[in-house]
């Protein structure tokens, strides 16, 4: 009877302890939740903001230098300026006045007769040679000469060359030239006179030994005053 009483007693005590612990734990949890909900944040919540006083002088200098560099690189926008169109002032153009210019007239004329070959012992006209000449076409004539470049291939004969007027059938006085030897030579006659009017002049040649002789060039040189 007494032992049964003690067992019940201890059971009640144990249950009471458990109930008390449960009350204490609930009270603690309730109190802790209230404290957490009532926690007040500190006034300076923006802790990421850096106070100007927290930047050292070297940092401030670098910031100022960067700002100055950016301001230097930014060029001001150029304002378009109005283009002023200036009309050219008309200037008077001087009128060219023809001046009297003294021009030296041509003092020499050359009349070609052509070239050819001859081998006759008598005076014979060189085929293909000739030119029509009117002395009045040259104005005031000072001097006329007959010029011939001739050569003898064999070099062992004499040749004679002269100017011939085919209209009058006469040789031009003073026009005859002579060559001996094989070297090509420029032969120049003494001054001659031409018949007035338009006449055909040709080249005549004769040879000593009937060997061929060549005329490379023949012409008249006319000098005027």
DSSP collapsed to 3 states, the chain: CHHHHHHHHHHHHHHHHHHHHHHHHHHHHHHHHHHHHCCCCCCCCCCCCCCHHHCCHHHHHHHHHHHHHHHHHCCCCCCCCCCCCCCCCCCCCCCCCCCCCCCCCCCEEEEEEEEEEECCCCCEECCCCCEEECHHHHCCEEEEEEEEEEECCCCCCEEEEEEEECCCCEECCCCCEEEECCCCEEEECCCCCCCCCCEEEEEEEEECCCCCEEEEEEEEEEEEC
Tokens read off for 194: 């031409």
Please give the pLDDT value at position 145: 99
Asked whether 146 and 160 are in contact (CB, 8 A), the reply is no
Mean pLDDT along residues 130-152: 97
pLDDT of 3-53, one tens digit each? 566 667 777 777 878 877 777 777 777 766 555 444 444 444 444 444 445
Domain presence at residue 196:
yes
Mean pLDDT along residues 68-81: 54
- Phi, psi for 58 (deg, rounded to 5): -65, -35
Asked whether 178 and 160 are in contact (CB, 8 A), the reply is yes
Please give the pLDDT value at position 21: 74
Mean pLDDT along residues 53-82: 59
Domain presence at residue 18:
yes
pLDDT of 159-209, one tens digit each? 999 999 999 999 999 999 999 988 999 999 999 999 999 999 999 999 999
Domain match, 11 and 119 both: no
Domain match, 114 and 215 both: yes
Please give the pLDDT value at position 55: 59
Q: Could you tell me which residue, 111 or 74, shows the higher pLDDT?
A: 111
Cα 150 to Cα 197, 214, 217: the distances in Å are 29, 6, 7
| CATH of residue 218 | 2.60.120.1340
Name the residue range of residue 166's domain.
108-224
Mean pLDDT along residues 105-117: 91
Domain presence at residue 154:
yes
Domain match, 14 and 119 both: no
Domain match, 207 and 115 both: yes
Please give the pLDDT value at position 79: 53
Asked whether 117 and 203 are in contact (CB, 8 A), the reply is no
Please give the pLDDT value at position 106: 62
């Amino acid at each position: 009877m007494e032992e049964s009483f003690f067992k019940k007693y201890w059971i009640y005590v144990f249950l009471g302890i458990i109930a008390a612990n449960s009350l204490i734990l609930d009270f603690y949890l309730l109190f802790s939740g209230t404290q957490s909900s009532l926690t007040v944040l500190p006034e300076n919540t923006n802790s990421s903001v850096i106070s100007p006083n927290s930047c050292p002088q070297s940092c401030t200098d670098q910031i100022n230098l960067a700002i100055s560099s950016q301001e230097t690189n930014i060029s001001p926008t150029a304002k378009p300026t109005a283009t002023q169109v200036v009309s050219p002032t008309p200037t008077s153009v001087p009128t060219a006045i023809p001046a009297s210019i003294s021009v030296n007239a041509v003092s020499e004329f050359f009349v070609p007769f052509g070239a050819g070959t001859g081998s006759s012992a008598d005076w014979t006209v060189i085929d293909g040679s000739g030119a029509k000449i009117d002395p009045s076409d040259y104005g005031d004539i000072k001097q006329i000469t007959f010029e011939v470049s001739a050569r003898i291939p064999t070099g062992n004969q004499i040749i004679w060359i002269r100017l011939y007027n085919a209209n009058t059938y006469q040789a031009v006085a003073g026009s005859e030239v002579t060559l001996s030897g094989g070297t090509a030579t420029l032969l120049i006659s003494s001054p001659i006179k031409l018949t007035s009017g338009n006449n055909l002049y040709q080249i005549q040649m004769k040879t000593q030994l009937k060997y061929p002789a060549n005329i490379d060039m023949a012409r008249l040189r006319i000098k005027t005053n």
